């Protein structure tokens, strides 16, 4: 495809707090294109694989327990600079430092309940999309509005 794709997931706390619609609305309003979406309840094993890079951290067990504590809403969003742009929409890892206007800055308070995941680079984006979605679940569709989002 012409533009970047990033893996975004509303974590179990965001789902339980009823923030799925708010978060999706922000990505839609930005002008990114939704190309995949599903609700999935991660196993501890899936959580550990998703966060494998952090396996040596002291918070890893708590993190993966939390991530597998309820369903998440997994998505792929596509657009120009969608990976870094998506990270900016999320805000910083610790919501204390996240600016108002960002998802974490507006909607959550502490690092351990920061409601949303987003890929941090092209390699992790590709890895995470392939981990959570089959190729047939990622939709290569055109949006009519693209002609108004891009020149």
Asked if 91 contacts 98 with a C-beta cutoff of 8 angstroms, the reply is: yes
- 81 sits in the region (left: phi over 0; alpha: psi -120 to 50; else beta) called left
Identity of the residue, 41 or 59, whose beta carbon is nearer to ligand DAT in the bound complex: 59
The residue annotated as part of the active site, out of 50, 117, 127, 141, is 117
List of E strands, the chain: 4-10, 33-40, 72-79, 116-118
141 catalytically annotated? no
C-alpha 76: how far from chain center: 8
Q: Is 108 in the site for ligand DAT (CB under 6 A)?
A: no
User: Is residue 93 marked as binding?
Assistant: yes
Identity of the residue, 106 or 120, whose beta carbon is nearer to Mg ion in the bound complex: 120
What is the Cα–Cα distance from 118 to 138, expressed in whole angstroms?
A: 17
Query: Taking CB within 5 to 8 Å according to partner kind, which of ligand DAT, Mg ion, none is near residue 109?
Result: none
Strands 33-40 and 72-79: antiparallel
Identity of the residue, 15 or 151, whose beta carbon is nearer to ligand DAT in the bound complex: 15
- Which residues are near ligand DAT by CB under 6 A? 54, 59, 63, 93, 111-112, 114, 117, 120
Binding-site positions for ATP read 11, 59, 87, 93, 104, 114
């Amino acid at each position: 495809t012409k533009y970047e794709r990033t893996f975004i997931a509303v974590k179990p706390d965001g789902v339980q707090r009823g923030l799925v619609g708010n978060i999706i609305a922000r990505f839609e309003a930005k002008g990114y294109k939704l190309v995949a979406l599903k609700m999935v309840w991660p196993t501890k094993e899936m959580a550990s694989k998703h966060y494998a890079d952090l396996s040596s951290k002291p918070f890893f067990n708590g993190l993966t327990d939390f991530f597998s504590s309820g369903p998440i809403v997994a998505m792929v969003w596509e657009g120009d600079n969608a990976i870094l742009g998506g990270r900016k929409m999320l805000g910083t890892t610790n919501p204390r430092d996240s600016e108002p206007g960002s998802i974490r800055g507006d909607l959550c308070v502490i690092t351990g309940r920061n409601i949303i995941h987003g890929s941090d680079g092209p390699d992790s984006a590709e890895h995470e999309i392939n981990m959570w979605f089959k190729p047939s679940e990622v939709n290569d569709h055109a949006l009519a509005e693209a002609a108004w989002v891009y020149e």
